[in-house]
Amino acid sequence: MSANTLSTLCKFFVGFLENNQLDLVQDLVDFHAHNVDPKELCVSIAFFNQVASEEALAKYPHVRVYLVVSQCCSERVKCQATGPALSQFIEPKQISDLCKKPELLESLENKLRELKGKYFPILEAKLGARVGKMEFAVLMGVRGASLSSSCWRQKHAMDNAR
């Protein structure tokens, strides 16, 4: 692992320490371990760097973690000559555009917290804490993916209409 990669990942995870949200780090690790085959798909270090570096995202740990969960999607990938495909589901411009809308970021963070507070206890009671967390992450990833996908389709529809 390069020094740049290590530095970027440390910066990403330190953000959760600063928000006192270490549980989200464990949620992300569990989600990745059970839902992503690293031989088939990877998330670029550039993606982690953008999420970690966007000052507007600093106060929104749930948004940061579910951006990464949503990026763990094989719907749009860039094949590489060697190694796993590189997820291209969320484009850098989409993150930049999102960060220009602080009211949307705050609303999204609050909604994610609300959904977790409301539905995670139900999943936990039925499935246990660990499986409940993974199922919740999958549901939020699917939700994030559907939002990103619909935004992407709208953007390209508008571009094609020009």
Better-scored residue on pLDDT, 141 or 38: 38
Average pLDDT over residues 30-37: 86
Q: What is the DSSP string of 67-104?
A: HHHHHS-SSSEE--SSSSEEE-SS-HHHHHHHHT-HHH
> How many domains is the chain partitioned into structurally?
1
pLDDT, position 31? 86
CA-based nearest residue to 151, from 90, 62, 73, 107:
90
Average pLDDT over residues 118-142: 81
Phi/psi of residue 128, each to 5°?
95, 160
Confidence class of residue 155 from pLDDT cuts 50, 70 and 90? Answer: very low
Q: List the helix and strand counts (H, then E) for the chain.
A: 7, 3
Average pLDDT over residues 139-154: 54
**Alpha carbons within 13 A on the beta-carbon side of 137:** 29
Average pLDDT over residues 34-53: 92
pLDDT digits (tens, 9 = 90+) for 48-104: 999 999 999 999 999 999 899 889 877 888 888 888 999 888 888 999 999 999 999
pLDDT digits (tens, 9 = 90+) for 98-129: 999 999 999 989 988 998 889 889 988 998 88
pLDDT, position 158? 44
pLDDT beyond 90 at 150: no
Q: What is the DSSP letter of 54?
A: -
pLDDT, position 60? 96
Q: What is the DSSP letter of 56?
A: G
Structural domain span for residue 51: 3-161
- Cα–Cα distance measured from residue 45 to residue 146, given in angstroms and rounded to the nearest whole number: 23
pTM of the entire structure? Answer: 0.81
pLDDT, position 143? 56
